[in-house]
Amino acid sequence: MRRIPRKVEIEDDAGNVTRYLRHDNGEGYVSPYATVHPDATVEAGAYVEAGARVAERARVGRFSWIDVDAVVGPRARVGDAVHVGVRGVVGDGARVGAHARLGEDIQIEPGAIVLPDEIVPEGTVVRAERRRGDFGTAA
């Protein structure tokens, strides 16, 4: 059986080291400066960056990346290999399909759906009632 390390350290090209701890529910990695509810699931290969928050009963899929200061709300589902950009917000009960890319400062309204492979431009709002590619603008 393959063992997943309890801690990992990643060094960037400038020599800065970022440390992550394995989240017990799903075995993904979480910055010690992020907040992840114990009932949330962070799947293997996923990363949650410093300042990010993942709420109760939320799920972050395999190989997804929750960037700095982003929020995944209660009961939200982030699919596999998704990037939630800096300060992005995935609202309560929202769904984000696999391989979606969410830009900086986006807002996914509670209950809204982002389909697989969609690209949500930075600073936009995804409404709960919309069609593919139909994004509102930030207020």
Query: Which residue do the tokens 């997804």 mark?
Result: 64
Tens of pLDDT, residue by residue over 66-91, are 999 999 999 999 999 999 999 999 99
Burial zone of 30 (CB within 10 Å; 0-12 exposed, 13-18 middle, 19+ buried): buried
Q: Classify domain 7-130 at the CATH topology level.
A: UDP N-Acetylglucosamine Acyltransferase; domain 1 (2.160.10)
Tens of pLDDT, residue by residue over 93-130, are 999 999 999 999 999 999 999 999 999 999 999 998 75
Q: How far apart, in whole angstroms, are the C-alpha atoms of residue 11 and residue 14?
A: 8
pTM greater than the 0.75 cutoff: yes
DSSP string, 70-95: -EE-TT-EE-TT-EE-TT-EE-TT-E
Cβ neighbours of residue 37 under 8 Å, at least 6 residues apart? 54, 55, 56, 57, 58
Sorted by where each begins, the domain ranges of the chain are 7-130
Query: Which residue do the tokens 């972050």 mark?
Result: 60
